Amino acid sequence: MPSLLGIGGLASGEGGLHPAGELHSVQAVFIQEKHLKILARPLISQGTLTFQSPQSLRWEYLQPMHTVLLLHDGHIDKRIEHDGHFERDNGPGVETMQIVLQDIGSWLDGRFNDNPLFTVHRLDQQTLELRPRDPGMESMIQRIELRLGAQKGVVEQVTIVEGEEDFTVITFSQLVLNEEISANRFTAP
């Protein structure tokens, strides 16, 4: 069985979007591989994703460093575990993470066209490509590829291409759909 991440919609053959059904929540395990030209081997992170419609998201890195990113009611909270206690991280990357997490929440809810910064193209039956509308943004992200699964409304893998040799691949597994999730999963590390 392929690894899967559920989403609430996918592109139709004409390039438009249609609902994939009533998706209320998604839980999954992920492996993230960060490939950089300057590194001999990719940086590997593992964690979990918890999503509840419309925009509550918990992105939790379990390895190599326990970090929790929470998006709830339009606010983001980033916590890093130090000596068994979580400390808030208000560094400069937190605002960028809010944009990324909101986009992930939109994708999970089947809204690929919500971000005006990207255009969406269907490359083939299993692949959607998001490209920046502003050419200046291509210095940070050249494109994002979403590989759809065989099951309607499901994404298996996300690839974020940052440069010619720099990219991140996130692969999802152990998908659980539409289970009840307590609101505190999105407010407390």
What is the full per-residue pLDDT of the chain (189 aa) written as tens digits?
Answer: 333 444 444 333 333 433 445 678 889 999 999 999 999 999 999 999 998 988 899 999 999 999 999 988 888 889 999 999 999 987 666 665 656 666 776 676 666 676 777 888 999 988 999 998 888 888 888 999 999 876 655 678 999 998 888 999 999 999 888 899 999 999 988
C-beta atoms surrounding 173 within 10 Å: 14
According to DSSP, residue 176 is labeled E
What long-range pairs does 71-75 form, CB within 8 A, spacing at least 24?
Answer: 71/98, 71/101, 71/102, 71/105, 71/186, 72/183, 72/186, 72/187
pTM of the full structure: 0.81
| Boundaries of every domain in the chain | 25-185
We find that the CATH architecture of domain 25-185 is Clam (2.50)
